Chain A
Amino acid sequence: MGDGSFVEMSETEIRKEIEAGVAEGAKKAKCPPLTEDDIEKLMKIICDPRKFVSVERGNELVLTYDSQPLKFTRLGIPIAMPQILQIYERALMADTLEMAYVHYSAKPVKMILPEEEAAVAEALLITTPALLYGVMPNMPMYTKPDGPCENFTELMPKGLITEAQAAQLEAAALLETDLILLGKRMYEAGADGVDFDTTAAGGDAEFYAVLRAVEKLRAMYPKMNIEVGMSGEFILGFHGSLQYKGERLAGMYPHDQCRMVAAAGGTVVGAVVNTNTRKSFPWNLARSLTMCKYAVEVSSIPVHANVGMGVGGVPMQITPPIDCVSRASTAMAEVGKLDGL
């Protein structure tokens, strides 16, 4: 199930769940459903009796990550960040590396920027794959009580809509400045680029700030690698009226989010589809594949699906079952035709 609990289903039940998930994904994102051939492939992957499923040789894809150092900190293993990246490179078969501060939000990194730059510069001498510096934009950190701007989530319930919109624009401007600063400093330290991960968790104003930051970084550094990982399948319209290049951001689904990131100057985009914990794994994976496959088809840049805890069909569980993760990974490559994960 979407919460990670174990259930048994017949093939007929699984097919019904897949068909329902596909229909729901196509309806929500207003995109084409998976084809009959796709559904058959997905049936084979999900119904494979083995615990661990993998792609056929030749169907492998590229992996990018969110905050590799954080994953070791979570496990309570106190290793310095450059050495964690070496472990990812040489023991965990990582195609790319991502340096990041444990908080992972943009705002706190400013306070320790020289130390972070030093860690990046050190890691670049001893590692081989492309190395990005990753942060979450996390715009709500710029609002009270954590920041200087009025808290729009408190203003809106009071009916102070104009004030809430103004507060979001103020926070977005501060965020944009910080993202540009971080991108500039990390690129000057030698990083291949940046990853703005969980973009738009704070709504359409956060997405707006990230797109503007990407556009400006691209103008400053034409060869910078810029990945933008999204936070959800749907851009929450906390502001509601913000537009980028003439298009309203609120309500955008993955395929439109990918177009916007490409238009701003991103080189890779991370598509997200949220897991519904009350629905089955086949339902969630089918729904996720429906949206991601269409995003891949319409995007002009590589699309990496987010397939972590609670996204991309993976159950919302701190220890997600390997059965589900390996099937989601395989299906994203062979059914969704993703460029990466």
Chain B
Amino acid sequence: MAIVHSQASGMGGIRTAGDLVARMQLAKSMRLNDAKKFVADKLKVSLLDLTDEVAMREVREDLDIANVFMGYGAASRGIEAKANISKLLDLEINCVEKFKKKTGMLFK
């Protein structure tokens, strides 16, 4: 079921920009088109680029915000990537805030 929906209509998660658009919906109640535009503006890409796997892999690697490729030399992953996403989207992410508090680290 999950595979069918992701292929038929899903944005593609971290393979593209689906996770970023989803974050804006869940955190800010942005409607779909508003969330897509917000993320596209932040990434400085077009709306169609948001679901272009090739374009988004380069963008995500450049911005260091995780991709499905997690081999040696890959972009940041997990909490590292979320710290970068938090800055990029100007969005407070709960676990990143907790990570900062626990480690005493302040991100610029």
Residues in chain A within 8 A of chain B (CB atoms): 52-55, 57-65, 68, 71, 88-96, 124-132, 187, 190-193, 223-225, 227, 262, 267-268, 300-302, 307-309, 320, 322, 325-326, 329-330, 332-333, 338-341
Contacts and interface: CB of A to CB of B under 8 A. Distances in A.
Contacts of A187: 94
B79 A329 contact: no
Given A128-B77, A225-B26, 15 more contacts: A52-B4, A54-B7, A55-B9, A62-B18, A62-B35, A63-B10, A89-B13, A89-B14, A92-B13, A95-B11, A192-B23, A267-B29, A268-B29, A326-B4, A326-B7
A304 to B, nearest CB: 8
A10 B27 CA distance: 45
Given A329-B4, A339-B32, A341-B9, A57 B18 contact: no
A127 B13 CA distance: 12
B48 A90 contact: no
Q: Which 10 A/B pairs are nearest by Cβ-Cβ distance?
A: A190-B95, A95-B18, A129-B19, A329-B8, A225-B26, A95-B22, A339-B32, A93-B6, A326-B8, A124-B95
Contacts of B66: 128
Interface in B55-90: 65-66, 68, 70, 77-79, 81-82, 85
B47 interface: yes
A192 B1 contact: no
B100 to A, nearest CB: 11
A123 to B, nearest CB: 9
Interface size range of chain B in the complex: 35 or more
A130 B7 contact: no
Contacts of A223: 27, 92, 94
Contacts, number: 182
17 contacts: A53-B8, A61-B32, A63-B11, A89-B13, A90-B14, A92-B13, A93-B7, A93-B18, A95-B12, A130-B23, A193-B26, A227-B26, A267-B28, A268-B26, A302-B30, A322-B4, A333-B9
